[in-house]
Amino acid sequence: MLEFILPLGIFLLGLLTGFVDSTAGSGGLILIPMLIFMGVPPQAAIALDRFGTLGMEVGAFITFHKAKKIVWEFVPLFSLLALVGGIIGANILVSIDPASIQKIIGVILLLSLPLILLHKNAGVKRVATSVTRKVIGYFMYFVIMIYNGFFGTGAGPLTTYNQTLLFGLTIIESNATAIIPWFLLSVSSVIIFSQHNLINYTNAISLVIGMLLGGYVGAHTLLKIGDVWVKRLFIGVVLISGIKLLFF
């Protein structure tokens, strides 16, 4: 009986995490600590989170694609940067303790929050940005993807900052446009984690199914509540994420 309890718990945890990830990001703040609490080693918990994210990304993609919220002009380069960044980041994970930089990410999240608060339309309305800002945005996106490849917690809000402030996307468009690049990053990371025997596939399958369903429902919810409420939700998640990374 006990052998079924952990996969069931991981499935239910995946539902919640997939919903949070597809709406505001930082689902790893819930999933990774809970997996560790359930007895999964830290590096294996991060690897399992990345495997499960594949499900969330598929579920969210189906919804965002139907709603035409993906800004395809940015997808090819974002995908390339995510793929390379994910490979670099995943190789970093197997050799360092990711907790060593989580406080830095927490500080960045909280210090960046005024940028989106002071711009009324940031994340709510699509705005045009300069070529220079986009070049900076692509560089920052690559750095974020490296971080996302080896730890990932907080990478969702960082990506949203980047795409709303430097590319002029709404928060919903940012989430939708990130799906394919993040899927490629997840695949590359999972391959490397598998080579280092960090993934328990029984637990991984339970998690990926849960996160697929959670991601599908979360993306539908995001579209229903609209950009203004999404921005409010995003601000709340950033505050919680920053405080969690800094103090817990």
Each residue's pLDDT, cut to its tens digit, for the chain (248 residues) gives 455 677 788 898 889 888 887 776 667 777 877 887 787 887 788 888 889 889 888 888 988 899 899 999 999 999 999 989 888 887 876 666 656 666 666 676 677 667 666 666 666 788 888 999 999 999 999 988 888 877 666 777 888 889 988 999 988 898 899 899 989 988 888 888 888 888 888 888 999 999 999 889 988 888 888 777 777 777 777 777 777 767 76
| Tokens 């069931």 found at | 8
Our measurement of the distance from residue 77's CA atom to the centroid of its chain's CA atoms, rounded to an integer in Å, reads 18
Three-class secondary structure of residue 33 per DSSP: helix
Give the separation between CA 220 and CA 222, rounded to whole angstroms: 5
Q: What pLDDT, on the 0 to 100 scale, is given for residue 140?
A: 93
Lookup: tokens for 30: 């819930």
Q: Are 168 and 124 in contact (CB under 8 A)?
A: no
Q: What pLDDT, on the 0 to 100 scale, is given for residue 18?
A: 86
Q: Are 35 and 164 in contact (CB under 8 A)?
A: no
Three-class secondary structure of residue 66 per DSSP: helix
Lookup: tokens for 215: 């991601």
Helix (H) or strand (E) holding 144: helix 131-150
Give me the phi and psi of 24, to 5 degrees please: -135, -5
Give me the phi and psi of 189, to 5 degrees please: -65, -45
Q: Positive or negative, the Cα torsion across 96, 100, 102, 105?
A: negative
Lookup: tokens for 130: 């300069």
Give me the phi and psi of 154, to 5 degrees please: 95, -10
Three-class secondary structure of residue 199 per DSSP: coil
Q: What pLDDT, on the 0 to 100 scale, is given for residue 80?
A: 94
Name the DSSP letter for residue 154. Answer: T
